[in-house]
Copies of this chain bind each other. A is one copy, B any other.
Amino acid sequence: MRSEMEKIMCQAQEGQRITLRGSVHALRPMGEITFLILRRGQSFIQCVWEDGTMTGQENPVAGLKEETAVEVIGTVHREPRAVHGSELRIASVRVLSRPAEPLPLCINKGRVKASLETRLNLRSIALRNPLEAARFRIQEGLTRGFREYLHSEGFTEVHTPKLTARGAEGGANIFCLPYFGQKAELAQSPQFYKQALVGVYDRVFEVGPVFRAEKHNTVRHLNEYVSMDLEMGYIDSYEDIMEMETGTLKFMFRLLEEEYGRELSALRVELPRIGRIPRIRFDEAKELAAELSGRPVSRTGDLGPEEEQRLGEYFREEEGSDFVFVTHYPSRKRPFYAMDDPEDGRLTLSFDLLFRGLEITTGGQRIHDYGMMMEKLAAREMDPGQLESYLMIFCYGMPPHGGLGIGLERLTMKLLGEDNVREASLYPRDVKRLTP
């Protein structure tokens, strides 16, 4: 989308006098001519001052520094070499706000040349670099696409509490805090609430923060991230959920293509190929990953990062797909509310979605029958008393349903071809990082 500033430039007649506001992104003195690149949000306008064109006037650009906020008055002239095909010949400059110090890193010459650690420490400044900023414009496009598609599919957006009396998936990895004499937890997911709301709205979604007190300090973990959750009723099978995710992702990438072309090309993002997403059962995936690595099958109940990586490469090469659904995860590794496979009770009707070799989604069909739920809790020796308000929804009737969550930062990370999820969070939180 063109910004207001760009519209003004493009619509102005040759020689028309206009006023623009922005920050001095770059100053380039070239003898008698000085180029001033004006930045406003993600728009850039080339302004030019030429000595001697305005008789008796001091050079209004001379005293400026980068990151000074200014109001520039000038006339528009066609200039094929400028970004928008025209430039602003400066008549006068009024300073709106001055920086106190020069920038601690260079933001106006291509990529910021600093370590991730430095860029994160100086995040609010590093983001002034257009390439750093473009990432989160693309992230915006992803959330817009998620919401717009689900809205068109009859979903209702909900806001569920992040302060809860009990986490969605049991005891470990939960942040706890005192709450007026009670003990509160930060929600690990909106799981219980979105299920309850299927009984109300049939189809619901939420885009919001979730909190995981995992001690992992890896390139793929954050302790706070944005989860894009959906849950839907009256499904025939977990396959309906995978279809909905496929449709949603297609729409999201189409929206990016249509409205975020500038950011995609600045970052040289290759949008993923997505048709019918291939599917593989968990046990087969384990075997395939072992075969690809020439090692024996590992007997863990999940896929490791390396296994995911190999599977991602395989399906990209063999089936031309950046995505693959892995289905039928073992019951013992899935939460109690996962629907077990009636054909083999050791498995669940659940799935993960791998995108370019990284898990970005966990989803599946849930138990909807009260009796079945109570049996599963008993089998796991869980206390139903702690889940009273959740179990209530099944007691009073729930339709067959299921859903999923997409990790926004992981999706963004793989889309951008980054190798650290921190690149895809404006202000990431990890085991060591709580600032800025």
Residues of chain A touching chain B, judged by Cβ–Cβ distance below 8 Å, are 1, 3-4, 21-23, 40-42, 66-69, 96-104, 121-125, 127-128, 133, 136-137, 139-140, 143-144, 151, 154, 156-165, 175-180, 182, 184, 186, 193, 196-197, 199-203, 208-209, 211, 213, 215, 223-224, 226, 233-234, 368-371, 389-390, 392-400, 408, 426-429, 431-432, 434-436
- Give the residue name and chain of the B residue nearest to A3 (CB): B154
The verdict on A397 contacting B69 (CB below 8 Å), with A154-B3, A164-B434 known, is yes
Does B140 contact A96, Cβ atoms closer than 8 Å?
Answer: no
Q: How far is the CA of A174 from the CA of B200 in the complex (A)?
A: 33
- Give the residue name and chain of the B residue nearest to A101 (CB): B395
Does B408 contact A182, Cβ atoms closer than 8 Å?
Answer: no
Does A41 contact B154, Cβ atoms closer than 8 Å?
Answer: yes
- Give the residue name and chain of the B residue nearest to A179 (CB): B434
- Give the residue name and chain of the B residue nearest to A102 (CB): B396
Q: How far is the CA of A21 from the CA of B390 in the complex (A)?
A: 23
Q: How far is the CA of A380 from the CA of B349 in the complex (A)?
A: 59
Does A68 contact B397, Cβ atoms closer than 8 Å?
Answer: yes
Chain B nearest CB from A172 CB (Å) reads: 15
Does A100 contact B395, Cβ atoms closer than 8 Å?
Answer: yes
Does A203 contact B427, Cβ atoms closer than 8 Å?
Answer: no
Does B133 contact A436, Cβ atoms closer than 8 Å?
Answer: no
13 more contacts with CB within 8 A, not counting A1-B154, A133-B201, A163-B175, are A3-B154, A99-B395, A100-B370, A125-B199, A136-B156, A137-B156, A159-B209, A159-B226, A163-B223, A176-B178, A177-B186, A389-B436, A390-B436
Contacts of A163 in B (CB 8 A): 175, 211, 223-224, 429, 434
Does A23 contact B399, Cβ atoms closer than 8 Å?
Answer: yes
Does A158 contact B136, Cβ atoms closer than 8 Å?
Answer: yes
Ranked 4 nearest A-B pairs via Cβ: A99-B397, A41-B202, A67-B397, A389-B436
Does B426 contact A160, Cβ atoms closer than 8 Å?
Answer: yes
Chain B nearest CB from A216 CB (Å) reads: 11
A-B contact pairs, 19 of them (CB 8 A): A23-B397, A40-B202, A40-B233, A42-B156, A67-B397, A97-B397, A97-B399, A100-B394, A102-B396, A123-B196, A123-B389, A124-B199, A124-B389, A125-B396, A133-B200, A137-B156, A163-B211, A165-B434, A186-B186
Does A40 contact B4, Cβ atoms closer than 8 Å?
Answer: no
The verdict on A399 contacting B21 (CB below 8 Å), with A124-B197, A137-B156, A163-B211 known, is yes
Does B208 contact A209, Cβ atoms closer than 8 Å?
Answer: yes
- Give the residue name and chain of the B residue nearest to A432 (CB): B180
Q: How far is the CA of A177 from the CA of B224 in the complex (A)?
A: 14
Does B177 contact A101, Cβ atoms closer than 8 Å?
Answer: no
Contacts of A66 in B (CB 8 A): 397
Q: Name the contact of A158 in the complex, choosing from B98, B213, B426 (C-beta under 8 A).
A: B426
Does B175 contact A179, Cβ atoms closer than 8 Å?
Answer: yes
The verdict on A434 contacting B128 (CB below 8 Å), with A41-B156, A163-B223 known, is no
Among A99, A390, A408: residue with most chain B CB under 10 A: A99
Does B234 contact A69, Cβ atoms closer than 8 Å?
Answer: yes
Contacts of A40 in B (CB 8 A): 202, 233-234
Contacts of A200 in B (CB 8 A): 41, 124, 127-128, 133
Does A435 contact B389, Cβ atoms closer than 8 Å?
Answer: yes
Q: How far is the CA of A193 from the CA of B66 in the complex (A)?
A: 22
Does A215 contact B162, Cβ atoms closer than 8 Å?
Answer: no
